Structure 1
Amino acid sequence: MSSLRNDPSIRSLLSRMPENVQRTFSDDQLIHLKVAIGARQWGKHTVDCRGVIKFFKYRYYFVLLAGRNRRELSKKEQKIAAISQAITISMFSFLVITILLLIIYLVKSALGVDMFSNYSFGVWAWFKELFK
């Protein structure tokens, strides 16, 4: 018995067939069956959202899958992942710093502290109007 027949996906497929049919598959056929089965096996994802949207007489489906990447990445993919991670961290840091500066500015303005006399960014006036 070939090691391919011990593969879990092939074993699962063959177990649903009569034994005389199981024996008729060659290794080449089993490899192609494994590829065909593997193409539709997604596994478990943290986020798995699927739906259908009807637009006039047409129906469109959407799939949103997200989860931990378990694949081995090529050098190019590793480089792209590192750049993407650096950009994401930079954007998140910029957003957090901007929000913190805004909060500090609003607290300063609420306390009546003027850094520059007769000058205002207008943020405090906008904030007061917003929560009037």
Structure 2
Amino acid sequence: MKQLQNSDWFEQGLLKRLPEELRESFSQEQLSALKIAFGARKWGQHPVDIRGTLKVWSWRYYFVILIGRNKRELSRAEQKTAAFVQALFLLIFLTLSTLLGLLVLYLIKSAMGIDIFPHFSLGIWGWFKSNILQ
């Protein structure tokens, strides 16, 4: 049987899939030519690599979910999109953080009995007392 330890990842994968009687019939030159012909690319290991098929009535669909660090060079359009999405997430994060901070400060103010606007309430402290503190 061919030595799988000395071959590269493409040869190992190819030889594992072949019947044992055919593994010995390939020379190193033939294996190299097959690698070039198939345009072999090593996608690498991914932390999440989920592959499967779904059968819906008479059709079969496949799905692949790969999650890992992006090592590709991004095009200018992809860079602009990534920058926009990052800015959008940052804006959403800062907005939600600010609103949460204001809510906590309002609850602290109300718990201390501080009444900034007499005879006016947002109703948050009453709801918090009746539903959370009970």
TM-score (structure 1 length as normaliser): 0.67
Q: How many matched pairs?
A: 121
Question: Is the contact between residue 47 and residue 67 of structure 1 (CA under 8 Å) also seen in structure 2?
Answer: yes
Question: Could you tell me which amino acid in structure 1 is paired with residue 125 of structure 2?
Answer: W
After TM superposition, list the pairs within 5 Å mapping 1:1-132 onto structure 2. Answer: 8-10=8-10, 12-13=12-13, 17-18=23-24, 20-24=26-30, 27=33, 29-35=34-40, 38=41, 42-48=43-49, 64-131=65-132, 132=134
Letter of the 1:94 partner, please give it.
Answer: T
Long gaps (5+) in structure 2: 1-7, 17-22
Deviation at 1:18?
Answer: 3.2
Are the structure 2 counterparts of residues 90 and 30 from structure 1 closer, same or farther at C-alpha, using a change threshold of 3 Å? same
> Is the CA contact 1:51–1:62 (under 8 Å) kept in the aligned structure 2?
yes
**Percent of aligned positions with the same letter in both sequences?**
42
> Could you state the TM-score of these two structures normalised by the residue count of structure 2?
0.66
User: Structure 1 regions of 5+ residues with no counterpart?
Assistant: 1-7
Cα RMSD (Å):
3.4
Question: Could you tell me how far apart the structure 2 residues matched to 1:49 and 1:14 are?
Answer: 21
Query: How far off is 1:109 after superposition?
Result: 0.2
**Alpha-carbon distance between aligned partners in 2 of 1:42 and 1:64, rounded to the nearest angstrom:** 13
